[in-house]
Structure 1
């Protein structure tokens, strides 16, 4: 297994801020519930997603991360929006600093069964949009709020 692009970059520059391009996926089941995973590193809930590897398209990132982090394989993705700016700055618990440029996709059609990577997450589950967990990762919270405003007119 080779180290990913971001890990290779981090070996060279340490924890200094970087611009990190990636994708996330808002996965909705037939009850219009949102799938969230609880991260192992900060115990916050968040969307499946991650950083782009060299040569990948944003849609390929979304598909790869969705499968790696949830066990689900999308059969159709819908583009929501690309997010960036100072609101998407994040400092990880281990000190790495990033300014995220994240493209969010919506997935309502998928195959497979839910399973999660225990090295990255401690729980995973679907939540009613009106009853989301209180502790959601700040960048993901902004994406979810935008989705709720644009898709559900609140």
Structure 2
């Protein structure tokens, strides 16, 4: 049982603050997105930090689990908080998430398609994005407009 499941047993649907970490993975000027099974939207790989993990460990663990890719040379892309971090799920769970987003164009491994959480993974150009996860639109839009794009040397 993970941290979120343990906390939900204690607090039910009440507000839970979480730290989410994700990675904008770029190849040939395109972004890797995953088609989620739970909400029929596309977003970047990532997930919730477990106690004791670093931001980097969380982002890399979640990305490996969700995509099969080992990502290296992570650069901080952005920190996202504010009212847009609130979400209420269909089951009534309320969450406020702070997001730490990284960027990398250095990865290896075989890209998985169907996983426990995803229908598929695909690279998209800036001008041809699918229906996005509303909670990730802010940082995907920043990637599209090249806001905060780190320099990789």
- Normalization by structure 2: what TM-score? 0.90
Q: SS state of the match for residue 138, structure 1?
A: coil
Residue of structure 2 equivalent to 1:148:
144
Check whether the contact 2:87–2:94 (CA below 8 A) recurs between aligned residues: yes
| Structure 1 unmatched ranges of 5 or more | none
How far apart, CA to CA, are the structure 1 residues paired with 2:137 and 2:104? 17
Residue of structure 1 equivalent to 2:3:
5
Does residue 1:139 correspond to 2:135, yes or no? yes
Check whether the contact 2:31–2:123 (CA below 8 A) recurs between aligned residues: yes
Residue of structure 2 equivalent to 1:107:
104
**Aligned residue-pair number:** 148
| Structure 2 unmatched ranges of 5 or more | none
How far apart, CA to CA, are the structure 2 residues paired with 1:55 and 1:151? 28
Q: CA deviation at 1:95?
A: 2.7
Q: Deviations over 1:12-62 (max 9, x none)?
A: 111212111120110111x11111111111101111110000100111101
Greater share of helix: 1
Residue of structure 2 equivalent to 1:20:
18
